[in-house]
Amino acid sequence: MRRFAAVAGRPPDWRDLAAGGPMFATELWLDAMRGRIPGADFTFVLREPGKTVLALYGTVLAGAERNEVFGLPYILTGDARDLPLAEDSLAARASWRVPPPESWYPHLVVMLPGYECHPIGPLAGDPDALSELTGAVVAWARDQGLRLVAFLYTPPSTAALQEALASRGFSRIPLAYTCELALTGEGFDDYLAALPRKRRTEARRELRRLTQAGVVVRAVRVTRVPEDVVGLKCGHSAKYNGVPADRAKVRARLEGLCAESGLLVRAELEGTLVGYGLFIEHAGVWYCVSTAMDYGRHQARHAYFATVFYEPVRLAYSAGVRRLHYGQGSWRAKLSRGCRAVELPGWVLALDPRLAPVVADSARTTVLAP
């Protein structure tokens, strides 16, 4: 007989549960991302005698900063330009009468801090166990007085979970694309050959212009992050977020990500860092976990593609790696460099009946840009 429990934080057996799971479920990633989703963390588990057989990771949010892609008022009803939503979808939202933000909280977001939702454990693909666990999570959320339950950014590999959510009345809402690059052939020339002719010509031109500008691209293995990387990331974050970055938090997160070993691809101009891509490996896949560029130097204009795609691809072939994971954001640029985009929907259930109509409207009208 299986028993349900809601465990504050992560249970002692998390490492064993996550052993066959995605990189976003590893202790290294969760420790580095601590606090990224502000709220009370829980692990929802099903246990059989002597062992945990299924788990889901979630956070109870009492509120969220504006424009966070895990804040339900923003991603379901707002002008969410951070997500690849079709213009018609955004236009439809402009005419809605949306309940004020405070009426949405507290709510539960079931998602790993890598912006993907994965069940983990021996029964991660078992339809009956997933139905049992999702039902128990909803009942727990009702008992806690939560207003919504949302399983956000569910990849295709979680089809059994998504079927369980649909059967329990959750609304499916498209949210984002995740991008991954599958390498074919034996080397960098094969990667270029697989690109459309226009993009192939453009890639060669970008590499040539970086060389002409005196930009040198090189890769190093790191277990500690150099200060110039921290500084560049802070400047990059401030540009996109509109507020100064917390240098200590940026340093701690980057240090955590490469604690075991990171591949840092650096673009340098006369010894000064002007762009980088940071990769970590999990289960034979390279994950791009951080990037930044110096937008004040025109010579660094093409450093993003060189440090995030071209040089990592060259090195991946040499290392026998054939998959590179790039996640969400900038999806058109990623597609242009050979990635495949896969839709990540969210699944939302309103426990407060006053929120049910707006969730239904979001499910009915939200479409991703083609």
Q: What is the pLDDT of residues 354-364, one digit of tens each?
A: 999 999 999 99
Q: Indicate if the pLDDT at residue 66 is higher than 80.
A: no
Per-residue confidence (pLDDT) for residue 295, from 0 to 100: 86
Q: Mean pLDDT across the stretch 9-15?
A: 95
How much is the pLDDT for 103? 94
CA distances from 312 to 217, 277, 305 (A): 10, 8, 10
Tokens of 143: 């008992």
- Band the pLDDT of 345: cuts 50, 70, 90: very high
* pLDDT higher at 94 or 310: 310
> Whole-angstrom Cα distance, residue 68 to residue 80?
9
| Average pLDDT in the chain | 95
Query: What is the model's pLDDT at position 74?
Result: 94
82-86, 239-243, 341-345: which range is least confident on average? Answer: 239-243
Burial environment of residue 296 by CB neighbours within 10 A (0 to 12, 13 to 18, 19 or more)? exposed
Count Cβ atoms within 10 A of the Cβ of residue 309 and give its class: 0-12 exposed, 13-18 middle, 19 or more buried. buried
Contacts of 131 (CB under 8 A, 6+ apart): 164, 167, 168
pTM: predicted TM-score of the whole model, two decimal places = 0.94
Mean pLDDT value across residues 236-248: 79
Strand segments (E) across 203-322 = 215-222, 262-269, 272-282, 285-293
Whether residue 366 contacts residue 87, with contact meaning beta carbons closer than 8 Å, is answered with no
The residue extents of the domains of the chain are: 3-177+343-365, 184-321
Look-up of token digits 């955004």: 90
The pLDDT of residue 283: 95
Helix (H), strand (E) at residue 202: helix 197-212
Name the CATH code of domain 3-177+343-365 (choices 3.90.700.10, 3.40.630.30, 3.20.20.70, 3.40.50.300).
Answer: 3.40.630.30
Confirm if 349 and 167 have CB atoms less than 8 A apart.
no
Give the C-alpha distances (Å, rounded to integers) separating 112 from 21, 56, 70, 355: 11, 9, 11, 24
C-beta of residue 355 within 8 angstroms of C-beta of residue 73: no
Mean pLDDT value of segment 10-30 = 95
Q: CA of 5: how far to CAs of 2, 53, 74, 171, 307, in Å?
A: 10, 12, 30, 25, 44
Which residue is it, tokens 């009208």? 365
- The H-or-E segment that residue 41 falls in is strand 40-48
The class of domain 184-321 in CATH terms is: alpha beta
Q: Cα dist. 46→17, 119, 152, 277 in Å?
A: 12, 11, 20, 38
Tell me phi and psi for residue 212, to 5 degrees: -60, -30
- Look-up of token digits 């099903």: 46
- Kindly report the length of the chain: 370
The reported pLDDT for the residue numbered 238 is 77
Q: Measuring CA to CA, which residue among 201, 195, 197, 226 is closest to residue 313? A: 195
Look at residue 321 and tell me whether its pLDDT is greater than 90. yes
Cβ atoms of residues 168 and 134 within 8 Å: yes
pLDDT confidence of residue 240? 73
- Distances from the Cα of 233 to the Cα of 191, 239, 281, 312, angstroms: 28, 10, 21, 19
List the beta bridge partners of residue 263. 221, 279
Report yes or no: 279 and 195 within 8 Å, Cβ to Cβ: no
Same topology, domains 3-177+343-365 and 184-321? Answer is yes
Mean pLDDT (whole number) for 302-318: 97
Distance CA 370, CA 368 (A): 6
Helix (H, G, I), strand (E, B) or coil at 63: coil
